[in-house]
Amino acid sequence: MSVTIKDVAKLAGVSPSTVSRTCSNHPAISEKTKLKVKKAMMELGYEPNFQASNLAGKSSKTIGLILPIQENDIYENSFFLEVIHGICQYCNKYKYMNTIISENSEEKMITFIDSIVKAGKVDGFILLYSKVKDPVVEYLNSHSLSYVMIGKPSSNINSTIYIDNDNITAGKDATDYLINLGHKKIAFVCDRENRIFIQDRQTGYISSLIGNNLPYEERWCIYKDLNNERDIEEIKKIFTSEDAPTAIVAIDDIVALTLEKIFNDIGIKVPEDISIISFNNSLLSKLTKPQLTCVDINNYQLGEESAAQIIKYVQNKEMVATKIIVPHTIIERESCKAIEK
């Protein structure tokens, strides 16, 4: 395994940013500290990449925006568009540019990030997602690169700067909303499993059921690919059964709209036969009929806050890692209906 800046920093008893600044001969680092760092580098056989270390002393005024890998709906999902809008508007105020980084594999993503870092073309990164065991995050950490995450990290939570919603509470609030309308059989539907926010919203969903003395049915936590015909047929079977749920917590607006289309094909009406509440409150939620009741997670603010934090961090790498929780609100529309309690 190759030696990283973190290994040198640990041996020298300094921060990774101090090692990086030593490599660029930064005047703020004392000669005594430089000697200590250089000694650790020699002991470990560490050879700095001086192009990459230029990031510590020279600003490119560019932030890389890293999109999730292998998600077909990225460019159709207005969540990302609204977050990027918030990032760009904030960066514009401080004369920072943005570059979108999108690949179809982790290996290609890491290779591209490595190339632009070595060329000195970015100051830091914003990850527009969080997931379990992410090789991209592992690469950023092992090379002591500056980044902010939108979403809760799965590890190194105390040393990672991140912007998030309280997704556990948001999941609970969405489920409570349906329970207050009289629903007792509520499904949780999403199209992927490895995102941290999905796990948290499911935790909130389960917490609401238990807190309201309703049984948790594992079969009603439904993870399906809604572009797959076999999965669509299973969805139809679940919601046409005698013991079908009367309401759904959908993980986002796209899933909710897809469910509406599936239900329309089999004669299930929203909200007359089934109620749906979703997350994001994107433009799509207002274009459908009926319009979707949503948990608004303030996408624009998530982007704006992430841009503010990464700019602060690239200007002061000694800044303590912070977390910012953006509030959510429920926007009531037409896709939910009260039933007899």
pLDDT digits (tens, 9 = 90+) for 157-200: 888 999 999 999 999 999 999 999 999 999 999 987 778 999 99
Phi, psi of 269 (to 5 degrees): -100, 140
Q: Identify whether residues 149 and 73 lie together within a single domain.
A: yes
pLDDT band at 75 (very low <50, low <70, confident <90, very high): low
| 334 located within any domain | no
Same-domain status, 17 and 64: no
pLDDT on residue 247: 98
Entry field: residues in the chain = 341
Report pLDDT for 329.
98
Give yes or no for a contact between 12 and 44, defined as CB atoms under 8 angstroms apart: no
* φ, ψ dihedrals at 263, nearest 5°: -65, -35
pTM: 0.81
pLDDT at 126: 98
User: Does 254 map to a domain?
Assistant: yes
Domains held by the chain: number = 3
Least confident window among 45-49, 128-132, 157-161, 236-240: 45-49
Q: Is the pLDDT of residue 9 over 80?
A: yes
Contacts of 45-53 with C-beta under 8 Å, sequence gap 24+, read: 45/3, 46/3, 46/4, 46/5, 46/7, 46/8, 48/23, 49/118, 50/23, 50/24, 51/118, 51/119, 51/120, 52/117, 52/118, 52/120, 52/143, 53/20, 53/23, 53/24
- For 102-113, write each residue's pLDDT tens digit: 988 999 999 999
C-alpha 153: how far from chain center:
9
pLDDT of residue 55 exceeding 50, the answer is: no
Q: Which amino acid is at 320?
A: V
User: How confident is the prediction for the chain on average, in pLDDT?
Assistant: 89
Q: Are strands 161-164 and 147-150 parallel, antiparallel or unpaired?
A: parallel
Q: In angstroms, rounded to a whole number, what is the distance separating the alpha carbons of residues 179 and 338?
A: 9
pLDDT tens by residue, 111-162: 999 999 888 899 999 999 998 889 999 999 888 889 999 999 988 888 899 9
Range of 198's domain?
167-296
The yes-or-no verdict on residue 98 having pLDDT over 50 is yes
Angle CA(28)–CA(122)–CA(74) in degrees, nearest 5?
145
Query: Which of 12-16, 73-77, 115-119, 181-185 comes out lowest in average pLDDT?
Result: 73-77
> Does the residue 339 lie in any domain?
no
What is the model's pLDDT at position 123? 92
pLDDT at 96 over 60: yes
* Average pLDDT value for residue range 305-330: 91
State whether 67 and 155 are in the same domain.
yes
Please give the helix or strand (H or E) that residue 331 lies within, else none. strand 329-331
- In the predicted structure, residue 86 carries a pLDDT above the cut 60: yes
d(CA 109, CA 65): 12
Instruction: Give the residue with greater pLDDT, 16 vs 280.
Output: 280
Q: What is the dihedral of CA 235, 236, 237, 242, to 10 degrees?
A: 110
pLDDT tens digits for 254-281?
999 999 999 999 999 999 999 999 999 9
| One domain for residues 192 and 134 | no
Same domain, 96 and 244: no
Could you tell me the two tokens for 254?
């796209």
Confidence at 56, pLDDT banded by 50, 70, 90: very low
Dihedral angle sign, alpha carbons of residues 20, 26, 31, 32:
negative
CATH of the domain at 33: 1.10.260.40
Model pLDDT, residue 227: 85
pLDDT for position 49: 59
From CA 142, how far away is CA 215, in angstroms rounded? 44
Residues 77 and 107 in one domain: yes
| Rounded-to-integer distance, Cα 269 and Cα 129, Å | 33
**Structure token digits, residue 276:** 């749906």
Q: Are 205 and 175 in contact (CB under 8 A)?
A: yes
Residue 137 sits in a domain whose CATH number is 3.40.50.2300
Same-domain check for residues 180 and 291:
yes
Q: Are residues 21 and 94 in the same domain?
A: no
Residue 41 and residue 129 in one domain: no
Share of the chain above pLDDT 90, in %: 63
Residue 10 falls inside a structural domain: yes
For the residues of 276-319, what is the DSSP string, one character each? Answer: EEEES--THHHHSSSPPEEEE--HHHHHHHHHHHHHHHHH-TTP
161 and 172 in a common domain:
no
Q: Which two tokens stand for residue 170?
A: 């948001």
CA distance 237 to 79: 30
Residue 72's pLDDT band (cuts 50, 70, 90): low
Instruction: Give the pLDDT of residue 28.
Output: 64
Residue 313 to residues 124, 141, 174, 310, 321, Cα–Cα distance (Å) = 9, 15, 34, 5, 9
